[in-house]
Chain A
Amino acid sequence: MTRSWRNDLSVGLALLALAVALPFVWPVNYVVTQVTLFFVWAVVVTQWNLVYGVAGIFSLAQMALFAVGAYATAMLGYYLEWSLWLAMPVAGLVTVVVSMLIGLACLRLRGPYVALLTLAIAQVMYLYIVNDTACFTNPPSGCMPLFGGVRGVTRFGDLGFRELFKQDWRLAHYFLALGLLAAATVFSVVIIRGPLGLAFRALRDNPDFARSRGINRFRTQLWVFALSALFTGLAGAFYAANFRSIGPTVFSFSLLLFLISMMVVGGVGTIWGPLLGAALLMMTDEALREVQDWRDIGLGLMLALFVVLLPRGIVGTLRDLAHRRSAGRGPPAA
């Protein structure tokens, strides 16, 4: 146990040092912006990994939760004119509540049924936002539906970094996102290595046995939905603040595909896999930018290949190999 803690700590610190140094070694605006976006997606997949990888609940609602955080921030800023610094944490809490409701709805379902239910929930949110054309307010810029309709919500202010740091605002956003990712990673490591993580894995691997040992499925499932939502909502809140706008495109299927691929390629259920996967997928995406038509074909192939041939992802497979070499027998349980 202590050795794995120490390993996690050293990997984390090394990555953190690398991330802090990057914008000074490579001070290109485009790089800084893209890496900031990488931090956001990395936060989402590390939290999604808690639900899908560690607790084994195949929820497809993670991007909907991300959208809840983003929309809550934007709407608090737009309608109530709150400072985004206040709106963001509140949006995080709103996301936790919504996620617990989704968790309650999923309680009686398993496997593919959970996937269908969560997909349906995300689709209902999307369809409602896109089809709602009744004007909630009538600002000079034109009719404004409650959730902004197809155009989304804009003009809700930003974090104030553009005024404060002038042309260095991108760096400020970069470090804020990095801080968010660092906090989210520590959060997920503590959960995975702690007693709750053990309960999640026990319910995933052998639900009947776990219950006979006194693990309350109801409470545990609510915990995993609540915990994984906090940083997902905050990531969404930051996303809205960073781009100063939010629209229904965050519900798109190709974005969902992109984020699932991150988890699957890196290693579902591992601590560092989702981070590695997010980095690899962002780089692949960048490499395929020149041949835009081939992007989705490439991503789809990669996803199918990994899930068929390397279902435990890069990190999971490497760990299996390491364990097999040291122990001389099968893969570990967790």
Chain B
Amino acid sequence: MNADVVIQIVASGLTLGAMYAVSTIGLSLVWGSLGMLNMAHGAMLTMGGYAAYFVMARLGLPHVAGLLGAMVVGAMVGLLVYHTVVRTMLGSRSFDTNVIIATVGIASVLENVVLKLFDAQPLPQPLVIGGSLQVGRVHIPNQNLLILGVALVLMVAIALVLQRSRAGRAIRATAMNREAAQLMGVPIGRVYAQVLMLAGALAAVSGIMVSSIATLSPTMGGDPMLKAFIICVVAGLGNVYGAVVSAIALGLLEATAQYVIGVRFGFALLLFLVIAILIWRPYGLFGRRQVVRL
């Protein structure tokens, strides 16, 4: 394995990892603060990808509008999940399993709405930039660098929001102890809505990223969602910072595995790894039992 191959693997692994990190943060944030496994996460990704397509290809607006449009649509889906499901179900008996079923239902509706609006044919994602950067004899597409850059900016922004802002403090307080936060005057309903909107907007950006290196299709959200679940399990559900580290590790692992053993059984092996981790360390590699991780 020479230096060029290593550069190639590291470059594509980091791109994949950054992409996974963006899609996982939302899922992890929702789990950490609401205690819900959001099965509509994949549908949020899909809606975001298609929103960018609609704004740019159908309305003819520039890149920035496509990105903003996707984030707004993603946030709206998050708000929809809050108002249709979370608001009524929160605090009810067996919320944690019922919410999985309810969001599966919503995901099925959203996915099929996309299917009806845009057809099953795969579409190209217009939010891409051309050209490439040459490192040694390796060409790294500018699109990958853009993905890496946007992911970094988003991660720093999320960390700042969570650690420094008033809203972030409310989110952390709610994640630590819902009742105590409520008694201290935190409007937990609004916090939940904010978290879901934030997760939706992040998922939308990740939907653009995923579709920009593959294609847009109504079922495109399923695969990244499954990978986000894997990352969350490895990190311990709800552990946002652990999720970022695990996402990048997974990206590098996947890029290496594709080079070394081919793509055929890669994903099955990954799932097998998750099964092993869940049995061996039920609360994830970085997770500890009953500890809030925000």
Neighbouring A residues of B104 by C-beta, 8 Å: 257, 260, 300, 303
Closest chain-A Cβ to B32's Cβ sits at a distance in Å of 13
Within 8 A of A (CB), among B235-282: 237, 264-265, 267-268, 271-272, 274-275, 278-279, 282
Query: Which one of B1-9, B81-89, B203-211 contacts A?
Result: B81-89
Chain B neighbourhood of A131, CB < 8 A? 264-265, 268
* CB-CB contacts below 8 Å: A224-278 with B: 253-254, 257, 260, 264
Q: What 1/0 mask marks residues of chain A from 52 to 93 whose CB sits below 8 Å from any chain B CB?
A: 000010100000000000000000000000000000000000
In the complex, the chain A residue whose C-beta lies closest to that of B81 is A304
Q: Which residues of B contact A264 (CB under 8 A)?
A: 101
User: With A and B bound together, what is the CA distance between A260 and B272 in angstroms?
Assistant: 25
Whether the Cβ atoms of B268 and A304 lie closer than 8 Å is no
How far apart are the CA atoms of A251 and B229 in the complex, in Å? 19
Query: Does residue A20 face the partner (Cβ distance < 8 Å to B)?
Result: no
Q: Is the CB of B272 within 8 A of A115?
A: no
B-facing residues in A275-334 (Cβ within 8 Å): 293-294, 296-297, 299-305, 307-309, 311
Number of B residues, CB within 8 Å of A: 42
Chain B 81-116, CB-CB to A under 8 Å as 1, else 0, gives 000110011001110111011101111110111011
Report how far A124 CA is from B214 CA in the complex, Å. Answer: 23
With contact pairs A116-B229, A121-B275, A296-B108 given, residues A260 and B101 touching in the complex (Cβ less than 8 Å): yes
Residue B220 at the chain A interface, CB threshold 8 Å: no
- CB neighbours (8 Å) of B101 from chain A are 260, 264, 303, 307
Known: A121-B275, A308-B85. A112 touches B108 (CB 8 A): no
Q: Does B37 contact A (CB under 8 A)?
A: yes
Instruction: Please tell me if the beta carbons of B37 and A115 are within 8 angstroms of each other in the complex.
Output: yes
Q: Are A301 and B109 in contact (CB under 8 A)?
A: yes
For residue A116, which residues in chain B have a CB less than 8 angstroms away from its CB? 37, 229, 233, 274, 278
Q: How far is the CB of B26 from chain A (nearest CB, A)?
A: 16
Interface residues in B104-153 (C-beta closer than 8 Å to A): 104-109, 111-113, 115-116
* A117 at interface, CB cutoff 8 A: yes
| B188 adjacent to chain A (CB < 8 Å) | no
Q: A120-B271, A128-B268, A257-B104 are in contact. Are A105 and B109 (CB under 8 A)?
A: no
Given contacts A116-B233, A293-B112, A301-B105, contact A307 B271 (CB under 8 A): no
- In the assembled complex, which residues on chain B have CB atoms less than 8 Å from the CB atom of A253? 222
* Contact indicator B97/A111 (Cβ below 8 Å): yes
- Contact at B113–A297, with CB atoms within 8 Å? yes
A111 (CB) vs chain B CBs: closest residue: B96
User: A299 to chain B: which residues have CB within 8 Å?
Assistant: 105, 108
A123 interface hit (Cβ, 8 Å): yes
- Across the interface, A56 reaches (CB within 8 A) one of B94, B105, B113, B226, namely B94
Over the window 105-117 of chain A, the binary record of Cβ atoms lying under 8 Å from chain B Cβ atoms (1 yes, 0 no) is 1001101110111
CB of A127 within 8 Å of the partner chain: yes
| Size bracket, chain A contacts | 35 or more
Asked if B108 and A124 make an inter-chain contact with CB atoms under 8 angstroms apart, the answer reads no
Interface pair B267/A297, CB less than 8 Å apart: no
A113 to B106, CA, bound (A): 21
Contact B264–A300 (Cβ < 8 Å): no
Q: A121 to chain B: which residues have CB within 8 Å?
A: 275
A119-139 residues with Cβ-Cβ distance < 8 A to B are 120-121, 123-124, 127-128, 131
By beta carbon, the residue of chain A nearest B37 is A112
A202 to B11, CA, bound (A): 53
Residues of A within 8 A of B112 (CB): 293-294, 296-297, 300
Chain A: minimal CB distance from B279 (Å): 5
Cα(A20)–Cα(B66), bound, Å: 60
Whether A109 and B282, one on each chain, are in contact in the complex, defined by CB atoms closer than 8 angstroms, is yes
Q: Which residues of A contact B113 (CB under 8 A)?
A: 297
Contacts of B97 on A, CB cut-off 8 Å? Answer: 58, 111-112, 115
User: Which A residues are CB-close (under 8 A) to B226?
Assistant: 123
Point out the residue from A105, A120, A297 that lies within 8 Å of B108, measured CB to CB.
A297
Question: A305: nearest residue on chain B (CB-CB)?
Answer: B105
Given A108-B282, A111-B96: A297 and B109 interface contact (C-beta under 8 Å): yes
- Are the C-beta atoms of B107 and A124 separated by less than 8 Å? no
* CB nearest neighbor in A for B268: A127
Contact of A303 among B88, B93, B105 (CB under 8 A): B105
A127 touches B102 (CB 8 A): no
Known A56-B94, A105-B279, A303-B101: A124·B37 in contact at CB below 8 Å: no
Contact between A307 and B98, CB atoms less than 8 A apart: yes
Closest to B87 in A: A308
CA A111 – CA B240 in complex, angstroms? 20
Residue of A nearest to B233 (CB): A116
Binding site for B on A (CB under 8 A): 56, 58, 105, 108-109, 111-113, 115-117, 120-121, 123-124, 127-128, 131, 253-254, 257, 260, 264, 293-294, 296-297, 299-305, 307-309, 311
Known pairs A115-B97, A297-B113, A304-B84 / 12 extra A-B pairs, C-beta < 8 Å: A105-B278, A113-B237, A127-B265, A254-B108, A296-B111, A300-B108, A300-B112, A301-B105, A304-B85, A307-B101, A311-B93, A311-B98
Can you sample 26 A-B contacts with CB below 8 Å? A58-B97, A58-B100, A105-B278, A108-B282, A109-B282, A112-B237, A113-B233, A116-B274, A120-B230, A123-B271, A127-B265, A131-B265, A131-B268, A254-B108, A260-B101, A260-B104, A264-B101, A293-B116, A294-B112, A296-B108, A300-B109, A303-B101, A304-B85, A304-B109, A307-B101, A308-B102
Give the 9 A-B residue pairs with the shortest CB-CB distance, closest first.
A300-B108, A304-B105, A303-B105, A300-B109, A127-B268, A58-B97, A112-B37, A300-B105, A307-B102
